[in-house]
Structure 1
Amino acid sequence: MESETLRAIREHATADYPREACGLIVVVKGRERYVPCRNVAVGSEHFVLPAADYAAAEDMGEVIAVVHSHPDFPAEASQADLVACEASGLPWHILSWPADDLRTIEPSGYEAPLVGRRFAHGVLDCYSLVRDWYRRERGIDLKDFSRRDDWWKSGEDLYMQHYGEAGFAVVSQDLPEQVGDVILMQLRSEVVNHAGIYIGNGQMLHHVHGRLSTRDVYGGYWQEITRCVLRYRG
């Protein structure tokens, strides 16, 4: 990384502190350039770089790396960083600020564990867990859907709108029977906003915001908030 690029990254981290700063390194006419982008994430736990900002950077030249800061936190990559780095296919530079420690990660085949992963909306959330389980256990790549932070709070009903596009059909209102059945739940919300995968023996795999992904006995509270059960039809 060129010294001018690093200087620009530091300036951006300072300007956006205490929120995470994010941007892209682009080669423009043979020269490296740092392009600051917006962080449109709700809260300060992670960053969301808008697709429009990425597209604008691509119009300038070739995107060669993703950059973001870790305010008041070590530059060590989180699980979400490692997963998103794999998805991007690019190196990621992480700057701890104001500690000014820069570390780089690159795609290496990392996969987050199904149990014990940390929540990061849009990267490691309940639907990401459903997609990962289907890819690893069934060899099926489910369609992903764009989802902004706290979409359910504005009344968006994404699960109910899109389950058909992902290849699922409703088979029950509240009782999963086959391994792989997806349980849709309404968790402290006006719309369905949570999903789990039935893994047999009365258990489901799911990931609640603010907690690690886990296996839970399906019943009691979880059955009370269930709105329907889906089965993959392809």
Structure 2
Amino acid sequence: MTRDFYTVIPLIRIHADAEAPRECCGIVVEKRDGALQYVPCRNLARAKDQFVIDPKDAAQAEDIGQPVAYAHSHVFEPPTPSAADRESMARSGLPWIIVNHPEGSFTINSAAPYVAPLIGRKFVHGVHDCYGIVRDYYLTELGIVLNDYPRLWGWWERTDGPDLYRDNFAREGFNAIHEGALDAPALRLLRLHDVLLMRIRTPRDNHAAVYVGNNVILHHLIDQLSCRAVFDGFYQRRTTAILRHRSFIGRD
């Protein structure tokens, strides 16, 4: 199967050249006759060095054939998978083809289990973001699997669309043990592994952090590296809820 991917590399290179300096992205499908076809897709990512495949284009690719690989480009960067690439590749379960622009070098990468270190991640919305750090903390530190949810950039600015946190935290096993502004009694409720919802310059909750004890949170802000931070007045004033996973209810 890997050898067959070489037939679509020239088309991915052409797409990469056309989209530069933004990354190109697309899907390799296998048609009914067994031939491989590269289907270029629109990139919806905000940053030019990231990619998000347009769901409509992905659906059209599936109409053509069975997806067998994902492809994208790295512009002026080696065609080796980034940490976000490796994590997304693991979730997809399919090979990833990465092509360099402008040289045209490429790699064909097999999916393998991977979770990036929790500290020092580059922000990649939909993969390594504030919800991603919560998911991976619960997986690596606690062995608790939380579902992932597709999310488009700017969902937090709209009040008529899906709400990543409010729509889903209950089905993921979380209970709100406090709602609203934090006061002294609310702060005393905080326990290790609690999730804090925050509203930072938006009309709805757009940030989440994990309380890791000793007045410290683990979180990942837009355009910053993931880190531990003091849970000080800035974050406390923006907290709207304290969530606790059912696994820890009644352990006090």
Q: TM-score, normalised by structure 2?
A: 0.85
| Identity within the alignment, % | 41
Q: Select 1:169's aligned residue among 169, 175, 183.
A: 175
Q: Distance in 2 between matches of 1:45 and 1:134?
A: 28
Partner Cα distance (2:122, 2:43) in 1: 20
In structure 1, which of residues 6, 10, 17 is the aligned counterpart of residue 9 of structure 2?
6
CA drift at 1:168: 1.5
Partner residue in 1 for 2:250? none
Q: Does 2:107 correspond to 1:103?
A: yes
Q: Quote the residue 1:131 is aligned against.
A: 135
What SS does the corresponding residue of 2:156 show, helix, strand or coil?
helix
Alignment match, 2:213 = 200
- CA shift at 1:77, angstroms? 1.6
Aligned residues: 234
- Give, in angstroms, the shift of residue 55 of structure 1: 3.3
Aligned to 1:219, which of 229, 232, 240? 232
Q: How does 1:1-234 map to 2 (within 5 A)?
A: 1=4, 4-28=7-31, 29-155=33-159, 157-172=163-178, 173=180, 174=182, 175=187, 177-233=190-246
Query: Structure 1 150/85 Cα, relative in aligned 2: closer, same or farther at 3 Å?
Result: same
Equivalent AA in structure 1 for residue 11 of structure 2: A
Q: Does the C-alpha gap of structure 1 residues 227 and 3 become closer, same or farther in structure 2, counting only changes over 3 Å? A: closer
Compute the displacement of 1:189 (Å). 1.9
Which secondary structure state, in structure 2, belongs to the residue aligned with residue 14 of structure 1? helix
Gaps of 5+ in 2: 248-252
Tell me, in whole angstroms, the C-alpha distance in 1 between the residues paired with 2:200 and 2:49: 21
Contact 1:143 1:165 in 2 (8 A): no
Gaps spanning 5+ residues in structure 1: where? Answer: none
Distance 2:6 2:111 in 1: 24
Taking structure 1 as reference, are residues 33 and 231 closer, same or farther at Cα in structure 2, changes over 3 Å only? same
1-side partners of 2:132 and 2:46: how far apart?
18
The CA RMSD over aligned residues, in Å, is: 1.9
Q: Secondary structure at the match of 1:45?
A: coil
Q: Displacement of 1:4 after TM fit? A: 4.3
TM-score (norm 1): 0.91
* SS in structure 2 of the partner of residue 158 of structure 1: coil
Whole-angstrom CA distance in 1 between matches of 2:36 and 2:151: 32
